[in-house]
Structure 1
């Protein structure tokens, strides 16, 4: 017999009832590993423990060790959080128990030498360990040096190691529509078919769902939770915690200070008011200040936190537009606002519960809404662990020396105006810079964002008619046909803008409804044919994922490795709209007075420090030096302003957890599709294509937000800009070159 074969010790099997094993199973599976067992799974475990551990299952602690090993293998082999008795779950559990039984001796699991040398469980090799002959045990370790690859059984399949295989583009019209249920304190997925003509009650539900979503997020914040400690030790903590008051509860409490959460809106009388689920009240923002100072936008349609004092009316008005109508309507009096702020944001890890790392560095799921499948690609608790293992293999995380040779980039171009002659040269320059790279270094995805035509498509014809638009996309097809290697090895995603057909036929370039559907096939047939021709040239033996062109909606979402990596793509000139509709707060007077003076003092200091010279050459040199210093100072000031504007925009959108926090008359929303506009949980990254703002790449609360700006900046003749996003680092950078 081989030395590695275990020697079998005598065990007296017993009949172990499942209720007797339940407390131990709960402690091991649920408390330690965050797993849930069903009745049928508990029956299988009780039978297995009784047969293989015998009478010493409790006294000698054999059962706890065995159950702990089963839980580790279940997680390593990609099992869900529930040891379910469905077909897949039952087959996986039976396979684990068979493998475990073949590697047990005396009620204990025997760890072989090659398994001990790898990290993780003794049975990470799955069924292969049990079925392999003892003499071939050493070869198993040589075949797969990464234990994670062997546990997932994808190490030998090169097609599964292709990152593009795990990319999925999700249209807004195909995405799950989760709605927060205030009574269940969980999310419900709407299964009823959506309609473009829903009942009028759906408009009220749209705002109610937004409020409930932010309200529950706010209550989960530590600043709004009173610690459950002794009254003496927690006195200071209780004073620092915040408490929300509903608007209806302000009645009869004049002169008291309160913190309100509600929707900013304009009353029928034209006054600024705040509305929640219980009523509305008029706001007095004469002495209000924004928190932080000039750090976010505040406009009607946004949900905000308002701190101030309520003052009742001494004489109640009659049945006028701004009169009192009690609970459920506009209550009398005014709320004198001291400060206004946005609801604090919540990180993605806190929302999904994936915020704890185990001893092996793997993410574990606890709390949050890990069970909810927000996008239709699987929930965090069901697929998150397995997908993170695949991500490590595909992106080779932990191996910096090899990361340079993997495909991990996404290229983003916005405002690709095909009717502008210079766009053809700009696209050619960008595509040529990537087509010359090796296949291992090519980008995974090219995202081209509209407007694809500079002026709105009008069905009446003319220079902006549908025939001309079709010709513009034919030009794009001819450009793409010059780079067959890119078409064969990358995914091209096209996201429309407000000027693109057919939505612009009735909006004439104004704000269309969101979400909006993809560009019709009538215009894109030639582009799709270019991809078909390029893929036909690929040899049949090639296992790589073929290139494809996906015409998606606006907004669209890109899922990479299931629920692990989410990228939101949204095209909207939101900065322009915020500047038009935002509320103006009086700035701090000291800052306004000091800033111009400081700037003048620096210039004057530069003038006085220059030595006086009567020579002509010295004067020229001094003037040139002053001009250079002035240019540097101006560019630095402009950069700081642009950075501040980008941070202000990003904070506003992510705090609102919504892509379009505006009233319906400013930015219409399809009522039944409103849940797809929510940014909850926060995406991993977001492309906010705003042509009215300068390009930026900013990270806020773990969400990396990028704006590629215009492909060809205004006033530029030969400058091209785009964004390059690194999937492994989860960071983007603005690229700028001349063509």
Structure 2
């Protein structure tokens, strides 16, 4: 027995002469008595600002600050200033908010929950201090009481309270890349809207509907305008002080797009009373009720005259109603405007009298993905920039760049390493893309058999992760009924595909097959008869795909995966459009099946090119875009890039990405489900964009860091035994158009 240094006053009963000295764990329990106080939020504001804003780059809303003040007053009492108790609590709350993937603004919402974080922190407090479960004795932790004297149990000791150590991901043991492939349907993408007042994206609280209130249609274009507007103001050309350049005066013979000038946007409503002055407008191209071309923003609309306008760069993009454009020109006010009873006045959001004579016009400049997310890239390192960005926003529902990006890149590096016979080998991540796969054509079925045979004979490390098959899966629109083009014939097409796939069980066991429908596929084609149906649209119904799923189940049942880390092969039918996420936010691949180029040619707005009136003025923005065109392109400046095909591809890519949406058209040209329009946005830019446009030739073009691929038709027009597809290298972010004969 150990000697007890405390003498006993009664040796017979073992009564000590002095109270027994408490151990460390007991002292923790005796210091839990706290007298709560009412702490005003204004008193806590300086410490909260120093901790949340300066240290963690977060912004506290007023309700959140009040909740924190109540929490600190309750758990720290009058000693909240002593030993920095409040500052430590606020620092812990900020760390947990960041780990939970909350936004820049700390407030209650559908993302991270401040209430849940405070409850978790309160469960690990004693005497106004946060207790680390890994360092505190277990007995003391179990006896810790809260302010009401109720004993509380703490989380498991595997959780750290310091916030400096990363929590281990539950799936870190999954080392095969296909474990991290996630196909996200358009209807599952978070519905985000840009709050112009808070300068931040927030989740839409209303429940989505296929028959929403008419105000949602207005909100659709308002949200697009706000996103383009904030993106434009982040451009360096709009951030230079105008004091050094003076007044931005214009002459009709020259554009205000000039070098070393700061651009300043003018709201359309502010044109009233400023006849003969030059301005730069950002607005939506639309057709007015009188049939005239007009420009509209959040303040009003005005007739747009493009008789003297010049497109910048010349023939570099399409302009159609439904697109946002930058128009530089002169406002001319008329006393009596034809077709308008407003004259020189305007109502709220109404038409303004007179007209705006455009001198130069172009689309809003695009923004690179890293700039939108606020990342500084140095070689292979990505750091959070101090210039702002939306790295905290979870745009796809797979985690934000700041919360999960670094961790996912570590997992990617681990997944790509393989050691065989002492040699370290690296897997290749490839995706095969085919479009206009008409399964009712015997030629295409023969071509599919040939291409599956090519990849089936490759080494396992060279095989693609996924095959993306894009419709239309039939040449004519399916009609819900018997006879030619009926549902029975449509199911037989997929039954034939199942027979071909069954001949390559190795591919079915080790690859993911993704099917994206077209306008001829059910069920929307039943009512549209092959015309443009509303997007996003649902995947091919399970009614037609049962035989294909059975082929995958049969192939996977033949493999004993007891010691295999590779997941089973699967077939996924997804929406149009959809997204492929690989390693969380690291790789974002957007997919769209739509003949955009044909629709652009049919509805484009003509712009005259009058060099005598306009002169040779070019904008800094145009020069920048010309440079971006040439960069990232192999053999830039060669005669092959000057070909008509490459020019058309660049023109198409620039038009779509500059608008920041997959459908830059008016509702009459391409209907969009109003409540799901956010799933079509291309902001921030994806890492890659599969634009399946069968009206355009196959191409692979990189613009502002986004690699855009068009596989074209699987069997081109006029070809009898030639097939075309794209092989995309995910790590290099480059695709190649491949051709072969069958």
> Do these two structures clear the TM 0.5 threshold for a shared fold by scoring above it?
yes
Question: Do 1:365 and 1:381's aligned partners in 2 also have CA atoms closer than 8 Å?
Answer: no
Question: Relative to total residues, which structure has the larger helix share, 1 or 2?
Answer: 1
**Runs of 4+ with >4 A deviation:** 19-40, 73-102, 126-129, 150-155, 231-239, 316-320, 322-325, 357-360, 401-404, 587-590, 635-639
Q: 2:713 aligned with 1:710, yes or no?
A: yes
1:671 aligns with 2:692: no
Q: Return the match for 2:356 from 293, 311, 335.
A: 335
Q: Shift in Å at residue 22 of structure 1?
A: 12
Q: Does residue 1:576 correspond to 2:589, yes or no?
A: no
User: Which one of 229, 253, 258 corresponds to residue 215 of structure 1?
Assistant: 229
1:361 correspondence with 2:381: yes
Does structure 1 conserve the Cα–Cα contact (< 8 Å) formed by 2:335 and 2:343? no
Q: Equivalent residues in 2 for 1:431-446 (5 A)?
A: 431-446=452-467
CA contact (8 A) 2:536 2:577 kept: yes
Unaligned stretches of 5+ residues in structure 2: 1-27, 77-81, 107-111, 138-156, 249-257, 613-637
Asked if 1:495 is matched to 2:498, the reply is no
Shift of 1:86: 6.5
Q: Separation in 2 of the partners of 1:461 and 1:324?
A: 61
CA apart distance, 1:185: 1.7
Q: Deviations over 1:476-519 (max 9, x none)?
A: 11111111111111111100000111111111111111111111
CA contact (8 A) 2:176 2:565 kept: no
Aligned length: 622
Match for residue 178 of structure 1? Answer: 192
Within a 5 Å distance, the mapping from 1:644-655 to structure 2 comes to 644-655=647-658
CA distance in structure 1 between the aligned counterparts of 2:259 and 2:657, rounded to whole angstroms: 28
Q: Distance in 2 between matches of 1:440 and 1:95?
A: 49
Q: Tell me, yes or no, if the aligned pair for 2:174 and 2:565 is still in contact at 8 Å.
A: no
Q: CA deviation at 1:272?
A: 1.0
After TM superposition, list the pairs within 5 Å mapping 1:655-694 onto structure 2: 655-694=658-697
Q: Which moved more, 1:478-487 or 1:73-82?
A: 73-82
- Judge which range, 267-276 or 384-393, deviates more: 384-393
**Ranges in structure 1 where 5+ consecutive residues have no aligned partner:** 1-12, 48-53, 58-63, 103-125, 130-149, 591-634
CA gap of 1:490–1:289, structure 2 versus 1, over 3 A, is same
Aligned residues of 1:363 and 1:385 also touching (Cα < 8 A): no
- Distance across 1 between alignment mates of 2:553 and 2:736: 32
Per the TM alignment, residue 281 of structure 1 is displaced from its structure 2 partner at its CA by: 0.9
* CA distance in structure 2 between the partners assigned to 1:568 and 1:238 by the alignment: 35
TM-score normalised by L of structure 1: 0.74
Question: Conserved in 2, the CA contact under 8 Å of 1:284 and 1:337?
Answer: yes
Q: What is aligned with 1:326? A: 346
Take 1:558 and 1:498, find their aligned partners in 2: how far apart are those partners?
21
Assess if the C-alpha contact under 8 Å between 1:721 and 1:734 holds in 2.
Answer: yes
- What is the CA–CA distance in structure 1 between the aligned matches of 2:131 and 2:504, rounded to whole Å? 49
Question: What does 1:207-356 correspond to in 2, within 5 Å?
Answer: 207-227=221-241, 240-317=261-338, 326-327=346-347, 328-353=349-374, 355-356=375-376
From the superposition, tell whether residues 546 and 87 of structure 1 become closer, same or farther in structure 2 (CA, over 3 Å). farther
Matched with 2:213 is 199
Please say if residues 432 and 468 of structure 2, whose CA atoms lie closer than 8 Å, have aligned partners that are also in contact.
yes
Q: Distance in 2 between matches of 1:403 and 1:705?
A: 32
- 2:482 is matched with 461
Q: Tell me how far 1:414 sits from its aligned partner.
A: 0.6
Determine whether 1:545 maps to 2:545. no
What is the aligned counterpart of 2:580 among 550, 558, 564? 558
Answer yes or no: is the 8 Å Cα contact 2:428–2:729 preserved in 1. no
Q: CA deviation at 1:674?
A: 1.2
CA distance in 1, matches of 2:442, 2:359: 53
Q: Which moved more, 1:467-476 or 1:180-189?
A: 180-189
My pick for the range that moved more, 649-658 or 476-485, is 476-485
In 1, Cα distance between equivalents of 2:338 and 2:317 = 35
* In structure 2, distance between residues paired with 1:226 and 1:439: 54
In the alignment, what sits opposite 2:22? none
Q: 1:396 to 1:654 in 2, by over 3 A?
A: farther
Q: Give 3-state SS (helix, strand or coil) of 1:240's partner.
A: coil
- Distance of 2:194 and 2:352 partners within structure 1: 28
**Cα distance in structure 2, aligned partners of 1:164 and 1:384:** 18
Question: What's the counterpart of residue 5 of structure 1?
Answer: none
CA distance in 1, matches of 2:497, 2:96: 50
How far the C-alpha of 1:732 sits from its partner, in A, is 1.2
The equivalent residue for 2:738 is 735
Counterpart contact for 1:163–1:407, Cα < 8 Å: no
